Structure formats: C-alpha cells, structure tokens
C-alpha cells in the first residue's frame, strides 16, 4: 500500500517532527480529489474571464450596469493567460496531477497488478452483488484446476491459494490496463511542460511583414532574413477567396538558403523555423534622397497602418534617422463606398500623401505641410526628394520556432492511448472459493469485483456462461437484491 | 453537380420527415398513456357504483418499434444526403453550419441507434430524437444560401485534418447527447415510479458508456484542432472562444469520470454532471455565434 | 407505509421492464416500404415548397465566367477616348483581356509588371485589352497614362457592355484568348511579369501548333 499517504496512527503523529507534518499536509493537499476539482473550477473560471475579455461581453456588461464600468476596464486590461494567478493554478494542478493522480496511486495499482490478494472470505462471496456457483462430483482440487483452465481459456490470469482445505481463487483480465492512467496523467503535465519549453526556448513573431521585392531580417538571433518574391491572392469566380500565397526566399547571413511557398495551410519550414502565411496588404516603393543626393531610403514600405483621419486609408511610417524625419505616407481611400466627407484627403489613384514629422526631440522641422506625390514623379517634402516609384504588395507572416512541439506530440499520443486503454480494456476481476461439499464432491463459487458496475456484471455473466459451457456442469447464478441491476429483465 | 446538390437536399428533407415522425413515435412509446378506467361495482343491495381512476400506463410498444424503424430511415436518408453532397463538393459536408449540422443529425441518429441496439433501451429515443428534431428545425431556419456547395476557404483547406477534427467533434457531441438522454431518463426514473422505464442502474451505466466514447473523441478533437491551428496559424492554442469552450466541455466530462472512478459517484450526482456537460456541449456548438473568434467561418 | 416512490432503486429495478419482455417481430416489410414511400412523397411536397428549384445553382455550381475551351463571347464598348471597340475586331490575334480598375490596389500593384510584360509581348503580336470597370474613362485613362501604358485601355464604367458575358466578382481578372477566339486560360489573381509572360506566351505556342 501507499505508505506515505496512509495516515499514521494518532499516537505516532504526535511524536512527528514539524517538517514531517508539513510534508504530510502538503501531500494530502495534493492528493485530495476535492481540492483538485476546486483547482479545475478556479482555472475554468479564469479561462472564462480570459476568453470573454476578447468578446463583446464586457462591453455589454458595462452598458447594462454603468456602475461596473471601472471593473470592466480592468477586465479588458487583465491578460489572464499570462497572469500570476493563472500560472499558479496551472502549477498547483500539475503538482496535484503528479502527486495525487500518479505517485500516490502507483503503489496501490502496482500491488493490484503484481501481487493481488488471493484469499477471500465466505462472507465476501455472500455479500457480493452477483455470484455463480458450480457443483461437481470431483474433489476440490480437481474442480479448482478445471476452473483455472476455464478462466485461462477466457484469457484471465488465475492465482490460487490453499486455506483451511479450501482453494481460494483470484482471476483477472486486462490488469496492465490499470497502468493507462499514468500515460494519461503524465500527458496532461507534459502538455504544460511543452507550453513552457516552447515559450522559454522558442520564439514567435506574429507580424513579420515583408513587401514584395524587399528583404527583411527576422532577428531573434536566427541570422535569417526573408525576401518576398511575389504575393498573390487568388479567388473563385464568385469572389470567394481561394488561396493566399507568398513566394519566399530565405537567406542565412545574406546567403540564399531556401526558396519556397507559404500558403495558409502549408507553412514553409527552414530548419526548425516555420513561416506561416498570415495576412497581406499594400506597399509603396519609394526612393528618398536628401538635398546632397544621398540615398536615405530605396525600398518598399508596407502600408500597415491606417490614416488617423480616415481608417480606410492605409498608411506607412518611414523613419529616416539621418534626416531626423519620420515620413508618413497615406494611400488613397480603399473603400469605394465612403462618402466624400469620410475621405478628407480625397486622393486620386496613383497618388500618395507625404506628411513629414520630426523624428526625435531635435527634429529639424515642425509640423510641415503634407505633399501629394504622383506615381513616377519626384516630390519635395521637407527638403527631401521623395520619388514614388510604384505600388506593390506585402505579406504578413507568423514566424515561430517551437521546441515544445515534439513534447506536445508525445503527450497527445500518451493521452489518447492512455484513455483508450483505460476505457476499452477495463480491469475485470473475479474472486472465488472452491470447497468440499457436505454431501460429497465439491462446489465452487465465484463473484465479480464489480460493485455498482453494471458493465462488469454483464461481463461476469458472459464469463460464467463460458465456464458453464466449457465444464459442462450446471451453474446456478444468484443476484443480490441489494445491489443487482435489472439487466436480466431489461435485456429480454 | 446541380442535380447532386438537389438530390442531397431532397434526401435531407426525407430524413427530416423520418426523424420527426420517429421522435413522435418514441415519445408515444416512452411517455406512456394516461388511461381512465371506469369500474362498475355491483353491491349486494343491487345498486352499482361507478369508480373512475386515472393511471399512467406503459406506452404503446408498437410505437417504439415504429420509432426505431423511422429513425433508421432517417439515418439512411441523411447518410445518402451526406454522400451526395460529398460527391458534389469533393469534401465531406463539414464546412458551414448547414453541412456541419446535417452531419451532426446523421451521427446523432446513428450513435443513438447503436446504443439502442446494444442496450435494448428504446425510451432513450424520446430524449435523443427530439434533440435531433431541434437540430433539424435549426438547419431549416438557416439562410438558404448555405444549402449551396462552396469551395473551401483557405483556412479550411486541409481535407484530412478537417475531416478528422470535425467529424470526431460530431461523434463526441452525439455520444454526449446520448449520455444526456440517459441522465435525463435516470433522473425521471429515480423520482417517478414509472415501471416501464429502464432500471436506473442501466441508465447510469449507459450514460457512462456513452461518455467513454465521447471523452476520448473529444480529446482527439482538441489535439487535432491544435495540430491544425499550428499548421494554419502557427499557434497550437489560441484561447479562442470555441476551443476554450471545447476544453471546458472536455474538463466537465473529465470531472464526471474522475468522480465516478475515484469518489464512487453514481446516480443522481453523476447525472447532474452529465446535464452540465451537455449544456457545455451546446455552448461549444454555438460558441462562435456568441463570441465570434477564429472558428467563425460557420457561414452565418 | 412504503409508497412506490420511497422504494429504493434496487427494488424497483426488479420490476419487469414491460416493453422489452419478449423479442419483437420486425415490422412487416410491406409496412416499411409503404412508410418509406410516404416519406419520399412527403419530402417531394416539402422540398417543392421550399425551393428545390433553386437549390444547387449557387456556390461552385453558379455559372459565371465563360469556361476555358469555349469561344470568348464578344462585347462592344469604347476606349478611354470614346472610340468604339469590339472584341471580335482582334480575331486572328492572340488577345490578353484584362479587367481592372485604378481604384483597385492589387491592380495598381501589378500595373508596372503588366506594362513591362506587354512591352515584350507586343512584338510577338499579342494584343492586350485592359477594360477598366466601375470608374470613369477619365480616371482610368489618366492613371494608365501616368504609368506609361502602351496597351489599349477600354472603359466600361457601369459594366453595361461586358457584365452580361463577363460577370466579375474580383479584379484584376485576366483572360487569355487565342487567335481563334478560344479561351486558353483564366487567372483570378494579380500577376507578376514572369507569370504574365508565361500565360501570354502559351497563346503563341498554341497558335504555332495549330498553324
């Protein structure tokens, strides 16, 4: 038995040292199913709060009960899934799973598998909810042997023990399925471990933007950079999107190492870094020189912002540190349904609005006026020559490296495997006594260990039927009115 | 192609009729009849007393058999409907709420009938089939445009994973619906002495069996869902409302199983957990309506 | 007194389960058949009233653009200067028919690539017709001129002239038509220069094969 968890006698406890007591308390805390259920309930509540944060529910609450508005503000502000309480609860639950679900149960389970108790009592057999009795003219040891053969034929393991001239018998099937609980519970912990490993040793870039024809460095110490050769979005005839595709070239320390395609369900992998197609947009290609003809910018800039005066007008921000200028570029309104007053800039196709702003505290310009530039032309903006070369597209990729994935895969297999073994190969157990009958010959009584388990009792019915058929001896079944299910009647 | 979609829709209509008739039959069978009995008693004095008594009696056995037959018709028609639509679309009908619910109706009918067969418990149909009919009504109320076959949108373009992930979800929901029905009947059976209901123990066990089908299926749904999310979006868990609701559902059934095996819960308490679990299933099913999120390509 | 409701479960469990006491005979085959037929007739009535007529024509079955292999339907419209132009005028030449609009960002992104590709294809005798839709001929003409377009820019501001034969749901749409007026390929996305050259040159090789 599990010595650690079995409460020691009160007399002894008094003599135990404080650390012992603390360990004992903690151990029991983590073994308690009731506490584990509370932990799950609190986690579920936190998850609910965290999930609803992203929905319209908090706003609805705030609208309905204005008094709760400050609380709703804090709700929006609280990133539950990265908060301390959430982590603490996950940690507590993991430890509870490890200790209560696994370590504490291990000795008992191993005992039941390797060294089950064979001896039983007549009282136990009498009180069982179902039983089957078999009488034979042969002496007890012969009947016991034949019973053993019959049970083995039904794929049961049989252990016998002689006591007071009677033969006690224990038989079970699928005993190793009891171990299924360990991979299952270990898997739950491994999934958390996988998440931690991924977060600690991997990285995730959720918005890695590369315009067509441009190269962008990935960072995160990878030494990788990516060039977008082409982006295209394809549609069905009815306008439904069909696919989003980025043709990428991956460079390692400036050397081309891989070319490939990333689409929505087929990411591009290089080594252990994975590139996912995530979004797209427009970009503008500019060449900016200062008054002395020095090139400050010769690249595409993604229009991944929107104008502050018109949210339907995409915009880019280009920082030009040598000139201490931050250039805002605003594209024409992309929503043709907008009324003229919604589009104050009123830009025509083929133009961009350039708005220079100071970069840093000592920028050379104040709020200089904006300039409308036309494609193919050079505009003078705050002393810079801005040439609007053409428009292009950009792709937005998610890039990630997650060393936790193999752990996660192993955990998933263990989880499903453990569950399947536990549910579909239930541990079936039978106890019995073979004894000499008063009138000569012998009688064997077997009972299932299936308290309040109707399926197990059904399995026992089948088993006793098999034994009856195999031994060719009359078998009488009894069902205790106290516990028996009504299977016989309802099965017809 | 057009003919296939039409025929599929026609078969769905036939299945709708069959399932509805089946639900009525099962109800007639399980709820029983109220029989008013008039007894004339002759007294020794030559007068007669007429006593009236009302009693609940077992339902009409024939209706039960009829219900089973109609449910099988429904499953067959719905199966044909799904097969035709698969042929027309080139993928299993799982990509919008019309298709998903059609598949759900089919699997719920089938899973129920298999349980009915192995347990010989027909009364369950009086709970499961009305749920199926509710689902059918919902499908008929969906916008007509969803009846059309469309190409898969980019996010769904992963046929093996979509098929496995979504059909396992449907299987799990169907099994949980059966468990729910068993729990409802259990709660009735222990409170009312309705002799022709199956024994509470059997219902309790049946509910457990259904959960042993649904729980691993749901675990696979979560796992395959994260594998898919990882392939499509680069994160295997997004705390998206639907996936969170699915996790919550799974945890509720986890609580059900643990309280049974570790604390020996049976009967009432277990049945209540099953009711909570099914409420979570419904919440998960319609989760994308309430909260949007990444699963909001149901088409409505 | 113990009433029925007070009895413990296990006792009540022993009460026979009435409806399943005996194995039941299956419903008669004939009854089953009749019921099935009744259901099928019922479904006919129900679906007849709820739009069986329309079902199946939408979605992927909806017929929109002419198909590859068919003769491209003719249309008559005007160029940005108001001169009448018909598709059939170019029969005998491979035609690259592009629907676009300067209001459409992907069209603007691909415009320089399209023009560069056309610069090479023009010598091979490919005719590019750029039909600007949903905008005024002035806006389309100005944008094309700014970008140095050398191809023929047509304008169908309200889609009155082309929508009948070419119902579009997205621009840019590129349709490649060979010298015999047969559609060889349709591209429902923007293109870069290389792709445009590849698609258009396929028209030349097929023309050479036929000739």
C116 with C199, same domain: the answer is yes
Residue C22 has pLDDT above 60, yes or no: no
The nearest alpha carbon in chain B to C53 belongs to B6
Size of chain B in residues: 300
B139 with B161, same domain: the answer is no
List phi, psi (to 5°) of A468.
-55, -45
**Cβ contact C189:A231 at 8 Å:** no
Does residue B197 form part of some domain?
yes
Does residue B190 form part of some domain?
yes
C137 with C197, same domain: the answer is yes
Q: Quick check: A393 and C106 CB within 8 A? A: yes
Q: Which residue has the higher pLDDT, A209 or B36?
A: A209
The nearest alpha carbon in chain B to C5 belongs to B193
Residue C184 has pLDDT above 90, yes or no: yes
Instruction: Give residue B126's Cα distance to chain centre.
Output: 11
- Closest Cα partner for A400 from B234, B43, B207? B234
Q: Which helix (H) or strand (E) holds A392?
A: strand A384-401
Diameter over CA atoms, chain C: 108
C138 with C177, same domain: the answer is yes
**Cβ contact A191:A458 at 8 Å:** no
C39 with C105, same domain: the answer is no
C45 with C139, same domain: the answer is no
User: For residue B171, what pLDDT band results from cuts at 50, 70 and 90?
Assistant: very high
**Cβ contact A174:A156 at 8 Å:** no
Question: Residue C155 forms beta bridges with which residues?
Answer: C78, C132
Rg, chain B, Cα only: 22
Report the C-alpha gap between B176 and B278 in whole angstroms. Answer: 6
Q: Which helix (H) or strand (E) holds B54?
A: strand B48-57
B26 with B136, same domain: the answer is yes
Residue B60 has pLDDT above 80, yes or no: no
Residue C14 has pLDDT above 50, yes or no: no
Q: Quick check: B241 and A51 CB within 8 A? A: yes
**Pair of tokens at residue A91:** 């940690």
The nearest alpha carbon in chain A to C21 belongs to A492
Does residue C14 form part of some domain?
no
- Count other C-beta atoms under 10 Å from residue A283's C-beta: 32
- Find tokens 């049961």 and name the residue: A156
Diameter over CA atoms, chain B: 92
Q: Quick check: A238 and C189 CB within 8 A? A: no
- Contact of C9 with chain A, judged by CB distance below 8 Å, is answered with no
- Closest Cα partner for A327 from A293, A375, A290, A294? A290
Q: Where are the domains of chain A?
A: 10-104, 113-174+439-490, 180-200+404-419, 202-281+397-401, 283-383
Report the C-alpha gap between A133 and B199 in whole angstroms. Answer: 26
Using DSSP bridges, classify how beta strands C127-133 and C152-156 pair: parallel, antiparallel or unpaired.
parallel
C120 with C34, same domain: the answer is no
- Closest Cα partner for A44 from A97, A94, A86? A86
What is the tens place of the pLDDT at every residue in C120-141? 999 999 999 999 999 999 999 9
Supply the mean pLDDT for chain A.
Answer: 86
Does residue B146 form part of some domain?
yes
Does residue B44 form part of some domain?
no
Does residue B189 form part of some domain?
yes
Range of the domain at C131: 66-210
pLDDT score of A206: 83
Give the three-class secondary structure for B47: coil
Which positions in chain C touch A242 (Cβ < 8 Å)?
188
Provide the chain B residues 11-40 that lie in CB contact (below 8 A) with chain A. none
Structural domain total, chain B: 2
Report the C-alpha gap between B130 and B22 in whole angstroms. Answer: 9
**Pair of tokens at residue C188:** 């429902």
Mean pLDDT calculated for residue range A341-367: 84
Which positions in chain B touch A81 (Cβ < 8 Å)?
239
Site from C7, C9, C11, C13 to mutate, A interface, most A CB atoms within 10 angstroms = C13
The nearest alpha carbon in chain C to B21 belongs to C39
What is the tens place of the pLDDT at every residue in A2-59? 344 444 444 455 567 888 889 888 888 888 878 888 888 888 788 778 877 766 777 7
Q: Quick check: A486 and B290 CB within 8 A? A: no
Q: Quick check: B209 and A408 CB within 8 A? A: no
pLDDT score of B299: 38
Domain end, chosen from B116, B151, B186, is at B151
Burial-class residue A289 by CB neighbours within 10 Å (0-12, 13-18, 19+): middle
Q: Which helix (H) or strand (E) holds B215?
A: helix B200-232
Which positions in chain B touch A47 (Cβ < 8 Å)?
239, 244, 247-248
Give the three-class secondary structure for C66: coil
Supply the mean pLDDT for chain C.
Answer: 84
Which positions in chain B touch C5 (Cβ < 8 Å)?
191-193
Does residue C177 form part of some domain?
yes
pLDDT score of A72: 84
Nearby residues of C85 by Cβ (< 8 Å), 6 or more positions away:
C76, C77, C78, C79, C129, C152, C154
Q: Pick the range with the lowest mean pLDDT from A256-260, A300-304, A428-432, B255-259.
A: B255-259
User: For residue A249, what pLDDT band results from cuts at 50, 70 and 90?
Assistant: very high
Give the three-class secondary structure for C171: coil
C70 with C131, same domain: the answer is yes
Q: Report which DSSP code applies to A247.
A: E
Which positions in chain A touch B231 (Cβ < 8 Å)?
265-267
Question: Residue A256 forms beta bridges with which residues?
Answer: A251
Cα torsion B169, B174, B180, B186: sign: negative
Distance from CA of C176 to the nearest CA of A (A): 16
CA end-to-end distance (rounded Å), chain B: 24
Q: Quick check: B212 and A424 CB within 8 A? A: yes
Considering only the beta carbons, identify the residue of A336, A375, A484 that sits closest to C146.
A375
C100 with C52, same domain: the answer is no
Give the three-class secondary structure for C155: strand
Q: Quick check: B216 and A416 CB within 8 A? A: yes
Mean pLDDT calculated for residue range C16-34: 61
Q: Quick check: A490 and B151 CB within 8 A? A: no
C106 with C145, same domain: the answer is yes
- Find tokens 């839709």 and name the residue: C133
Residue A246 has pLDDT above 70, yes or no: yes
Domain end, chosen from B136, B151, B166, is at B151
Considering only the beta carbons, identify the residue of A233, A334, A481 that sits closest to C189.
A233
Mean pLDDT calculated for residue range A59-88: 83
Rg, chain A, Cα only: 37
Domain end, chosen from B114, B135, B151, is at B151
CATH fold of the domain at A113-174+439-490: Alpha-Beta Plaits (3.30.70)
Touching subunits of B (3+ CB pairs, under 8 Å) are A, C
Q: Quick check: C43 and B11 CB within 8 A? A: yes
Cα torsion A389, A218, A251, A277: sign: negative
Touching subunits of A (3+ CB pairs, under 8 Å) are B, C
Does residue C19 form part of some domain?
no
Report the C-alpha gap between A304 and A283 in whole angstroms. Answer: 8
pLDDT score of A15: 65
Diameter over CA atoms, chain A: 122
How many contacts (CB atoms, under 8 Å) link A and B?
Answer: 129
Mean pLDDT calculated for residue range C112-123: 94
Structural domain total, chain C: 2
Q: Which helix (H) or strand (E) holds C39?
A: helix C29-49
Does residue C127 form part of some domain?
yes
- Contact of B279 with chain A, judged by CB distance below 8 Å, is answered with no
C47 with C104, same domain: the answer is no
Nearby residues of C36 by Cβ (< 8 Å), 6 or more positions away:
B73
Distance from CA of C38 to the nearest CA of A (A): 32
Sheet of C183-187, strands arranged across: C84-86, C76-79, C152-156, C127-133, C95-100, C173-177, C183-187
**Pair of tokens at residue C97:** 């028919």
Distance from CA of A312 to the nearest CA of C (A): 12
Does residue B239 form part of some domain?
yes
List phi, psi (to 5°) of A251.
-115, 135
Burial-class residue C202 by CB neighbours within 10 Å (0-12, 13-18, 19+): middle
Distance from CA of A264 to the nearest CA of B (A): 5
Considering only the beta carbons, identify the residue of C13, C143, C192 that sits closest to A349.
C143
Q: Which helix (H) or strand (E) holds B49?
A: strand B48-57
Does residue C129 form part of some domain?
yes
Q: Quick check: A490 and B251 CB within 8 A? A: no
Domain end, chosen from C57, C76, C104, is at C57
Cα torsion B270, B276, B278, B284: sign: negative
B114 with B236, same domain: the answer is no
Residue A437 has pLDDT above 50, yes or no: yes
Report the C-alpha gap between A374 and A392 in whole angstroms. Answer: 15
Mean pLDDT calculated for residue range C13-24: 42
Considering only the beta carbons, identify the residue of C11, C13, C103 that sits closest to A349.
C103
Report the C-alpha gap between A171 and A158 in whole angstroms. Answer: 4
List phi, psi (to 5°) of A335.
-110, 110
pLDDT score of A361: 77
What pTM was computed for the model?
A: 0.77
Does residue B255 form part of some domain?
yes
Write down the ipTM of this complex: 0.77
**Cβ contact B49:B41 at 8 Å:** yes
B23 with B115, same domain: the answer is yes
- Contact of B117 with chain A, judged by CB distance below 8 Å, is answered with no
List phi, psi (to 5°) of B105.
-60, -45
DSSP letters for C72-136: PPP-EEEETTS-EEEGGGGTTS-EEEEEE-TT-HHHHHHHHHHHHHHHHHHHHTPEEEEEEESS-
B171 with B146, same domain: the answer is no
Mean pLDDT calculated for residue range B50-67: 72
**Cβ contact A485:C13 at 8 Å:** yes
List phi, psi (to 5°) of A284.
-125, 135
Residue B215 has pLDDT above 90, yes or no: yes
Q: Quick check: B215 and A195 CB within 8 A? A: no
Range of the domain at B186: 154-300
- Contact of C189 with chain A, judged by CB distance below 8 Å, is answered with yes
Touching subunits of C (3+ CB pairs, under 8 Å) are A, B
The nearest alpha carbon in chain C to A235 belongs to C188
The nearest alpha carbon in chain C to A229 belongs to C192
User: For residue C27, what pLDDT band results from cuts at 50, 70 and 90?
Assistant: low
CATH of residue C84's domain is: 3.40.30.10
Which positions in chain A touch B235 (Cβ < 8 Å)?
204, 398, 400
Report the C-alpha gap between C109 and A60 in whole angstroms. Answer: 42
Q: Quick check: C106 and A489 CB within 8 A? A: no
Does residue B47 form part of some domain?
no
pLDDT score of B20: 96
C72 with C53, same domain: the answer is no
B128 with B164, same domain: the answer is no
Cα A356 to Cα A286, A290, B204, distances in angstroms:
14, 13, 74
Does residue C3 form part of some domain?
no
The nearest alpha carbon in chain B to C62 belongs to B2
- Closest Cα partner for A89 from A125, A124, A47? A47
């Amino acid at each position: 038995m599990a010595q650690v968890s079995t409460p020691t006698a009160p007399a002894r406890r008094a003599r135990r040292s404080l650390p012992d007591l603390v360990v004992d308390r903690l151990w029991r805390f983590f073994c308690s199913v009731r506490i584990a259920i509370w932990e799950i309930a609190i986690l579920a509540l936190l998850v609910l709060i965290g999930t609803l944060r992203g929905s319209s529910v908090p706003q609805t609450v705030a609208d309905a009960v204005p008094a709760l508005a400050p609380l709703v503000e804090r709700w929006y502000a609280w990133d539950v899934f990265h908060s301390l309480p959430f982590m603490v609860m996950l940690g507590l639950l993991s430890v509870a799973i490890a200790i209560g679900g696994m370590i504490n149960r291990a000795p008992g389970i191993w005992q039941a598998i390797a060294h089950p108790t064979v001896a039983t009592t007549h009282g136990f057999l009498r009180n069982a909810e179902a039983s089957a009795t078999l009488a034979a003219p042969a002496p007890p040891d012969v009947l016991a042997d034949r019973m053993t053969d019959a049970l083995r034929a039904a794929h049961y393991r049989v252990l016998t023990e002689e006591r007071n001239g009677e033969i006690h018998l224990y038989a079970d099937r699928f005993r190793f399925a009891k171990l299924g609980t360990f991979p299952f519970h270990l898997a739950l912990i491994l999934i958390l471990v996988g998440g931690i490993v991924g977060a600690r040793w991997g990285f995730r870039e959720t918005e890695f933007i590369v315009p067509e024809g441009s190269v962008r460095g990935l960072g995160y110490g990878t030494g990788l950079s990516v060039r977008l050769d082409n982006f295209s979005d394809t549609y069905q005839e009815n306008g439904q999107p069909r696919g989003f595709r980025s043709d990428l070239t991956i460079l390692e320390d400036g050397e081309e190492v891989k070319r490939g395609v990333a689409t929505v369900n087929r990411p591009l992998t290089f080594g252990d870094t994975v590139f996912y197609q995530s979004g797209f947009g427009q970009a503008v290609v500019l060449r900016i020189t200062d008054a002395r003809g020095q090139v400050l910018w010769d690249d595409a800039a993604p229009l991944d912002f929107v104008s502050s005066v018109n949210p339907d007008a995409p915009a880019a921000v280009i920082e030009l540190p040598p000139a201490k200028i931050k250039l805002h570029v605003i594209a024409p309104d992309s929503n043709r349904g907008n009324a003229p007053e919604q589009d104050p800039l009123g830009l025509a196709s083929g133009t961009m609005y350039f708005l220079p702003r100071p970069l840093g505290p000592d920028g050379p310009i104040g709020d200089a006026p904006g300039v409308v530039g036309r494609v193919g032309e050079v505009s003078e903006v705050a002393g810079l020559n801005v040439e609007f070369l053409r428009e292009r597209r950009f792709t937005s990729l998610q890039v990630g490296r997650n060393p936790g994935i193999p752990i996660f895969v192993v955990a998933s297999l263990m989880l499903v495997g453990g569950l399947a073994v536990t549910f579909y190969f239930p541990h079936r157990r039978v106890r019995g006594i073979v004894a000499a009958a008063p009138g000569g010959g012998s009688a064997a009584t077997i009972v299932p260990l299936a308290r309040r388990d109707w399926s197990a009792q059904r399995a026992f019915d089948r088993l006793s039927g098999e034994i009856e058929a195999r031994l060719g001896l009359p078998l009488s079944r009894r069902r205790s009115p106290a516990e028996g299910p009504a299977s016989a009647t309802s099965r017809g | 192609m057009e003919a296939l979609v039409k025929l599929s829709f026609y078969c769905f209509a036939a299945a709708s009729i069959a399932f509805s008739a089946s639900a009525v039959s099962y109800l007639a069978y399980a709820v029983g009849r109220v029989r008013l009995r008039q007894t004339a008693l002759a007294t020794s004095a030559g007068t007669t007393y007429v006593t009236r008594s009302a009693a609940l009696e077992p339902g009409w056995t024939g209706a039960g058999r009829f219900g089973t037959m109609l449910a099988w018709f429904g499953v067959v028609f719905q199966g044909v409907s799904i097969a035709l639509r698969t042929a027309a679309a080139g993928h299993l009908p799982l990509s919008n709420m019309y298709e998903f619910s059609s598949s759900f109706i089919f699997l719920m009918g089938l899973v129920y009938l298999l349980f009915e067969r192995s347990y010989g418990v027909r009364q369950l149909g009086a709970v499961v089939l009305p749920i199926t009919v509710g689902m059918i009504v919902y499908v008929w109320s969906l916008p007509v445009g969803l009846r059309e076959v469309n190409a898969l949108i980019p996010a769904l373009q992963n046929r093996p994973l979509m098929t496995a992930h979504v059909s396992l979800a449907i299987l799990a929901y169907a099994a949980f619906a059966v468990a729910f029905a068993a729990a409802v009947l259990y709660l009735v059976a222990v409170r009312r002495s309705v002799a022709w209901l199956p024994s509470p123990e059997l219902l309790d066990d049946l509910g457990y069996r259904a959960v042993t089908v649904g729980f691993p299926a749901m675990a696979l749904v979560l796992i395959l869902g994260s594998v898919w999310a990882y392939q499509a979006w680069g994160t295997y868990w997004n705390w998206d409302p639907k996936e969170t609701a699915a996790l919550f559902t799974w945890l509720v059934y986890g609580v059900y199983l643990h309280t049974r095996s570790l604390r020996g819960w049976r009967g009432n308490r277990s049945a209540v957990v099953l009711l909570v679990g099914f409420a979570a299933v419904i919440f998960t099913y319609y989760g994308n309506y309430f909260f949007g999120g990444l699963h909001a390509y149901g088409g409505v | 007194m113990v009433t029925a409701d007070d009895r413990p479960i296990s006792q009540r469990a022993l009460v026979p389960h009435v409806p399943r006491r005996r194995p039941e005979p299956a419903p008669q085959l004939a009854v089953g058949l009749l019921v099935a037929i009744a259901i099928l007739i019922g479904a006919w009535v129900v679906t007849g009233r709820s739009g069986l007529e329309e079902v199946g024509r939408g979605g992927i079955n909806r017929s929109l653009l002419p198909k590859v292999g068919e003769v491209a339907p003719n249309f008559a419209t005007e160029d940005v200067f108001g001169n009448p132009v018909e598709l059939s005028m170019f029969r005998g030449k491979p035609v690259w028919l592009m629907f676009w609009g300067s209001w459409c960002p992907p069209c603007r992104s691909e415009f320089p690539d399209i023009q560069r590709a056309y610069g090479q294809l023009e010598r091979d005798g490919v005719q590019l017709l750029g039909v600007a839709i949903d905008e005024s001929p002035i806006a389309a003409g100005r944008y094309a001129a700014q970008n140095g377009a050398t191809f023929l820019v047509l304008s169908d501001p309200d889609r009155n002239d082309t929508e009948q034969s070419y119902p579009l749901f997205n621009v840019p749409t590129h349709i490649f038509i060979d010298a015999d007026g047969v559609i060889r390929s349709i591209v429902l996305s923007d293109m870069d220069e290389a792709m445009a050259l590849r698609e258009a040159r396929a028209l030349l090789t097929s023309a050479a094969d036929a000739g």
